[in-house]
A and B are shown apart, each in its own frame.
Chain A
Amino acid sequence: MRLSDPEQAMLDGAEGRAVQQAMSLLYRYGKALGAERLVETNNVCGGSVGSLPNRRSVISDSDSMEAVFSLLNLDSDEPLEIPRVKTMAYKLIEAGDPDYYEMQGVSARTQQLIQKNAVFCDKIGIQRCNTCTPYQVGNIPTFGEHLAWMESSAVVYANSMIGARANVEGAQSAAAAMLTARIPYWGYHIPENRHATHLIEVDYPVESMMEWGLMGYFVGEVVKEDAPVLVGVDKNPDLKKAKHFGAASATSGGVEMYHIVGMTPEAPTLEAALGGKAPAETIRFGEQELRTAYEHLNCADDPNVDFIMLGCPHSSVEQLRIVAGLLEGRRVSENTQLWIFTPRALKAHADRVGYTETIEGAGAYLMTDTCPALGRVFPEGAKVVATDSCKQAHYLPATLGLDTWFGSVEDCVNAAVAGRWQATPP
Chain B
Amino acid sequence: MSAQTAELVLHGRPVVEGVAEGEAFVTTQTISGFGGIDPMTGTITERRHEKVGQSFAGKVLVFPGAKGSSGWASNFQAARLAGAAPVAMLFNELTTKIALGAVVLRVPSMTDLDQDPIAVIQDGDWVRVDAERGVVTVTRRGNAEVS
- Mark A residues whose CB is within 8 Å of B: 25, 28-29, 32-34, 49, 52, 54-55, 57-58, 71-72, 75, 150-152, 155, 167-173, 184, 186-187, 224-225, 250-251, 253-254, 296, 299, 373-374, 394-395, 397-399
Contact = CB atoms under 8 A, between A and B. Distances in A.
Interface-centre pick from A34, A58, A71, A184 (highest chain B CB count, 10 A): A58
Interface in B15-55: 15-16, 30, 34-36, 39-40, 45-48
Interface in B97-139: 97, 99-104, 106, 109
A224 B91 CA distance: 15
A187 B96 CA distance: 8
Contacts of A397: 47
Given A32-B102, A224-B93, A373-B35, 14 more contacts: A75-B77, A75-B106, A151-B70, A168-B96, A169-B70, A170-B101, A173-B73, A173-B100, A224-B30, A225-B67, A254-B66, A254-B95, A398-B36, A398-B46
A152 B47 contact: no
A194 to B, nearest CB: 15
B9 interface: no
B36 A57 contact: no
Contacts of A173: 73, 96, 100
A299 B52 CA distance: 15
B8 interface: no
Contacts of B35: 373, 394-395, 398-399
A377 to B, nearest CB: 15
A170 B73 contact: yes
B71 to A, nearest CB: 7
A170 B78 contact: no
A152 B70 contact: yes
Contacts of B68: 152, 250-251, 254
A395 B49 CA distance: 12
Contact of A170 (B39, B94, B100): B100
Interface string B61-92: 00011111111111101100110000000000
Contacts of B100: 29, 32, 169-170, 172-173
Nearest to A73: B74
Contacts of A28: 16, 103
Residue with the highest number of chain B CB atoms closer than 10 Å, among A169, A172, A225: A225
Interface residues of B, number: 42
28 contacts: A29-B99, A54-B39, A54-B40, A55-B74, A55-B78, A58-B78, A71-B81, A75-B106, A151-B70, A168-B97, A169-B70, A169-B96, A169-B100, A170-B70, A170-B73, A170-B96, A170-B104, A172-B100, A224-B30, A224-B93, A225-B93, A250-B68, A250-B69, A254-B30, A254-B65, A254-B67, A254-B97, A395-B34
- Which secondary structure dominates where chain A touches chain B? helix
Contacts of A169: 70, 96, 100
A394 to B, nearest CB: 7
A54 B103 contact: no
Contacts of B95: 168, 187, 225, 254
B118 to A, nearest CB: 14
Contact of A32 (B16, B40, B71, B77): B16
Nearest to B64: A224
A398 B45 CA distance: 6
Contacts of B39: 54, 57-58
> Which of B65, B70, B74 has the most C-beta atoms of chain A within 10 angstroms of its own C-beta?
B70
A395 B65 CA distance: 19
Given A29-B99, A187-B96, A224-B67, A49 B74 contact: yes
B56 to A, nearest CB: 16
Contacts of A75: 77, 103-104, 106
B70 A155 contact: yes
B97 A57 contact: no
A258 B70 CA distance: 18
Nearest to B93: A225
B96 A150 contact: no
Nearest to A33: B99
B97 to A, nearest CB: 6
B65 to A, nearest CB: 7
A58 B81 contact: yes
